Amino acid sequence: MKRSTVKELLAFTEINSDVLLKGWVRTRRGNNQVAFIAINDGTIIHSIQVVADLQSFPEELMKRVTTGSSISVTGKLVESMGKGQNVEIQAAEIRILGDSDPEVYPLQKKGHSFEFLRENAHLRFRTNTFGAVFRIRHALAYAIHKYYNDRGFYCLHTPIITASDAEGAGAMFKVTTFDLDGIPRNKEGDVDFTEDFFGRPTNLTVSGQLEGELGALALSSIYTFGPTFRAENSNTPRHVAEFWMIEPEMAFCDITDNMDLAEDFLKYLIRYTLDHCQDDLEFLNKMVDKGLLERLRFVMEHPFERKTYSEAVEILMKADRKFEFQVEWGLDLQAEHERYLVEQHFKRPVILTDYPREIKAFYMKQNDDGKTVRAMDVLFPLIGEIIGGSQREEELDKLQNRMREMKIPEDELWWYLETRKFGTVEHSGFGLGFERLIMFITGMSNIRDVIPFPRTPKSAEF
RNA sequence: UCCUCAGUAGCUCAGUUGGUUAGAGCGGCGGACUGUUAAUCCGUAGGUCGUAGGUUCAAGUCCUACCUGGGGAGCCA
């Protein structure tokens, strides 16, 4: 007989048919006559109840049906006599696939703290919460590819190992094949990278944007979706050293088109999850974050507030509230300022544009006022900045001037500059942190709980 | 990296002004129970009190350092 998944069985309408089920035991209840075994196989958040008449099964077998064990059951799918489920399986045969010693199996029937489950990341997929989170993570990954594919974007795989460290997006992990006990040195005593694998210093990427621009300036619209690495010693619930990022980049596209895309994209992803992950979202709404569904619907149904940095600074200076950090034109906004704008003042997502050039990256399009650049940050409730992007500077001389001012080595980025030399066009793009998106959509408050195996300072188990 | 809180049974925690043999609930194990839903009831085992020093007649409790974790901040996605 072909195995049916729990998802299939719960949707199956042919009562009294014979079925084969395989899965992991979540709980076992019962009395001296009958055992109720909840089986979950991860295909859906719900478990299915297997009913075993104890007279029909040897005691030695039933003793091995413990929380965490894997079993195979054949039997009839029947209407449940009890409350709490519509259907259940009346077991005819039970086989143990894998034992699970209840003395040492870490997961109990009862709920665990997220901290404890993080230390058991290899097993936490077997819990309702993490099953839901990682099914949603998959759905979002798929929806992202679908969204861009349906709109004529091409997925571009930008390199994970990069020779350039000019992007200025934080500390990088070095990539080397040197024996660390005997690193080659030149006559001056410096590390001799000509001896290293690539013949030059290399790092793990902090962004695929610069390479993404090269693709967009030929294919019109591209997006990257890959791992990204930051060696910053950040210890917060919103940072990991290895995370996934989506970076669309569009030629013939200005900052307004860019904002339109960002807003439409985020709303599409929320709608996709609401449409395809109802059970998981309902569980999370009930157990993790009671305001989740309401917040998702609200964000989906209301236009994002669009304001310039300068307007935001004015609002903050007039705010009837004391901030720990002062507000002044030219200073970057602090987390408390962003949260005030999103959660108190506008009470909806906010897109801020036209930031002071001094606090933004070299490649951003310079405005005519000589003071601001066409940057754009999308700010969300609870998690803050979810998207950062800009229109890019496509004029060669302006770009070169800015690079000199900011001491970005032009020779290292000669290939980037050539796109401005040969057929340059207006273009824009942004970066979306995949895990931050998942946090927002699942209501999980720690980024370590939305990536299967988080990498953080002093932590790379599993 | 800075600030702050925490680390006691498998899990979640309590533990008084420092004072005898360190407690509970849940989970595990044994038993009872004819349909359970985090089942219920009875019984039972289980501890190097994060690590290393120090103060004291006496430290889970006070002090110092370190480690690990949570929250806040910075950096950012």
**Cβ of A207 less than 7 A from strand B:** yes
What is the reported pLDDT for A307?
Answer: 96
Instruction: Provide, in whole angstroms, the distance separating residue A236's CA from nucleotide B71's C1'.
Output: 9
What is the reported pLDDT for A169?
Answer: 65
Q: pLDDT class for A111, splitting at 50, 70, 90?
A: confident
What is the reported pLDDT for A124?
Answer: 95
Task: Tell me which residues from 273 to 292 on chain A have a beta carbon below 7 angstroms from nucleic acid strand B.
Answer: none
**Cβ of A169 less than 7 A from strand B:** yes
Q: pLDDT class for A28, splitting at 50, 70, 90?
A: very high
What is the reported pLDDT for A320?
Answer: 83
Q: Residue range A305-309: average pLDDT? A: 96
For residue A345, pLDDT over 80 is answered with yes
Q: Residue range A288-302: average pLDDT? A: 94
**Cβ of A445 less than 7 A from strand B:** yes
Highest mean pLDDT among A50-59, A144-153, A166-175: A144-153
Q: pLDDT class for A108, splitting at 50, 70, 90?
A: confident
Q: pLDDT class for A241, splitting at 50, 70, 90?
A: very high
What is the reported pLDDT for A323?
Answer: 86
Higher pLDDT, A170 or A328: A328
ipTM above 0.90, yes or no: yes
Find the residue closest to B74 using CA and C1' atoms.
A234
What is the reported pLDDT for A167?
Answer: 61
**Cβ of A83 less than 7 A from strand B:** yes
Longest dimension (CA), chain A: 86
Q: pLDDT class for A84, splitting at 50, 70, 90?
A: confident
Q: Residue range A362-384: average pLDDT? A: 94
Angle CA A246–A122–A140, to nearest 5: 25
What is the reported pLDDT for A168?
Answer: 63
Residue A293 CB-density burial (10 A; 0-12 exposed, 13-18 middle, 19+ buried): middle
- Rounded to the nearest 10 degrees, the angle between the axes of helix A278-287 and helix A292-301 is 120
What is the reported pLDDT for A128?
Answer: 95
Instruction: Provide, in whole angstroms, the distance separating residue A447's CA from nucleotide B61's C1'.
Output: 36
Q: Residue range A134-146: average pLDDT? A: 98
For residue A36, pLDDT over 70 is answered with yes
What is the reported pLDDT for A12?
Answer: 80
For residue A82, pLDDT over 80 is answered with yes
Instruction: Provide, in whole angstroms, the distance separating residue A455's CA from nucleotide B14's C1'.
Output: 34
| Strand B nucleotides where any atom sits below 7 Å of a protein CB | 1-2, 10-13, 26-30, 32-39, 67-77
pTM of the complete model:
0.95
A10-to-A6, A26, A49, A77, A81 alpha-carbon distances in Å: 6, 17, 10, 10, 16
Instruction: Provide, in whole angstroms, the distance separating residue A86's CA from nucleotide B4's C1'.
Output: 50
Q: Residue range A45-65: average pLDDT? A: 94
Q: Which is it for the CA torsion A181, A182, A186, A187, positive or negative?
A: positive
The string of pLDDT tens digits covering residues A162-205 is 987 666 667 899 999 999 888 999 999 999 999 999 999 999 99
Q: Do residues A252 and A425 lie in contact, with contact meaning Cβ atoms separated by under 8 Å?
A: yes
Distance, CA of A352 to CA of A307 (rounded, Å): 5
What is the reported pLDDT for A383?
Answer: 85
* A56 DSSP 8-state letter: G
Q: Which nucleotide's C1' is closest to A102 (Cα)?
A: B28
Q: Which nucleotide's C1' is closest to A237 (Cα)?
A: B71
Mean pLDDT (chain A) is: 94
